[in-house]
Structure 1
Amino acid sequence: MDLVFKALADPTRRRLLDRLHEHNGQTLGELCERIDMARQSVTQHLVVLEAANLVSTVRRGREKLHYLNPVPLHEIQERWIDKFERPRLRALGAVKRRAEEVMTDKPTFVYVIYIESTPEKVWDALTDADLTAAYWGHSNVSDWKPGSRWEHVRTDGSGTADVVGRVVESERPTRLVTTWVAPDEEGQEDKYSRVTFDIQRHAEIVRLTVTHEDLPDEGARADVASGWPAVLSNLKSLLETGSTLPQQPWLVPSR
């Protein structure tokens, strides 16, 4: 938490976060356009924000896109704000979100988690049907070749898929890109969202960045914002301890 407060103490870094809040997924050049500062100086500020986990990056070809990671800010809100003025702030937040829904394009959610494992094991945990069944409650089924279909199948024996899609990119063990849609909306291009898993070795651990984009609205973003941390926490527990969490985290009621 100290790194977060240190990062937020600088006005330039707060401006960078504001720019990403306005338009997420910007390149360094795009961020520099609206800040009167040398490119190298902006890069140094972004390094501090990344170290505090306030900004995450995703490679798209030769470009490096920067995304606001709201998780540390949410933790500050819970620790220092919510318990003091929760009802009033929730009401104000609801008004703000409704206003923003009218003004923004399809929202994106980015989540970063660090796992004591290897890129190969993390890849397998995302793509192996038995492993996904163990921590997700669904089996991810595909041959994971670009262009192939994939299914997110229930483990209750019904064989029903709650999500289907296509494999867009598959580069074991570093990058997997898939489209997501409800089975009854398959084939309707405007209904698809897109999930990218970027797996990077980070010293002796692995940095997993999940980018869920082209979501239909802020309500869907709120759903995935609560779902991805729960699923990935269970994945982390399985890889680091050999066991999932004692209670499925998505079943724990929110406060």
Structure 2
Amino acid sequence: MNAMNPILEVENLSLATRSNHKLVTDVSLKVEAGESIGLVGESGSGKSLTLRSIIGLLPSGIEQVGGNIRSNGRCAMIFQDPIRALDPLCPVVRQLAEVVYYRQKVSRKVARTIALELLEMLGLPDSLKHTDRYPRQLSGGQCQRIVIAMALACKPGILLCDEPTTALDVTVQRQILDVISRLQKELGFAMVFVTHNLAVASSMCSKLCVMKEGRIIERGDTLPLLQNPQNPYTQLLISSVLPLPDLERSADL
């Protein structure tokens, strides 16, 4: 896939309510195969709506009113709340096997085998191979790994991540981010990663797009953008990141 043929291209995307209140205006981005692009900004800036429009899961009452979306690969999505993303009435291995069965067009037996291989890849307990469990019987981090496995079962060329660690505690967040990074290196999918956390964005994404009030106001390679932001809003976002306290000074007090 060369620069003239990106795996995903969003061109002048505009989204609005049925009463014509604009929520996203003229958003454009290109993603090359294997590339990671972050959409960052405060809550309500249009990040998640942009992501949902790519996969065709806009909330009821919101419509695409302009622009084009072109993809040259299968898209899959990881949602920010793993509990709500799973069917509470169906055991998780069965859920995952169903996704494999329908998306990979294999037999039920092969689908279960592939599902168990995905669970092993994601470091889930071996006990699930013998005793399936409902989402409520797993931790939030384990449920998020199941959601990631479901996305990977679609064999995506593009993985869409909608703040996938927001609902998790900080130690589990790091584990999940490490899993996603490792799998991207192993499987080579492109990624669009939505987050309001600049530290997460800087660790996961090679390029950033900063969104404010439904528009991209600044974009660029991650490190130069964070070191030398041009837009006052980007500067404000960076300055609002709380620094760690001076630990040596604190120890002397």
Q: TM-score range by the shorter chain?
A: under 0.3
What TM-score do the two structures reach when normalised by structure 1?
0.27
RCO (CA 8 Å, sep 6+): is it higher in 1 or 2?
Answer: 2
Instruction: Decide which structure has greater helix share.
Output: 1
What TM-score do the two structures reach when normalised by structure 2?
0.27
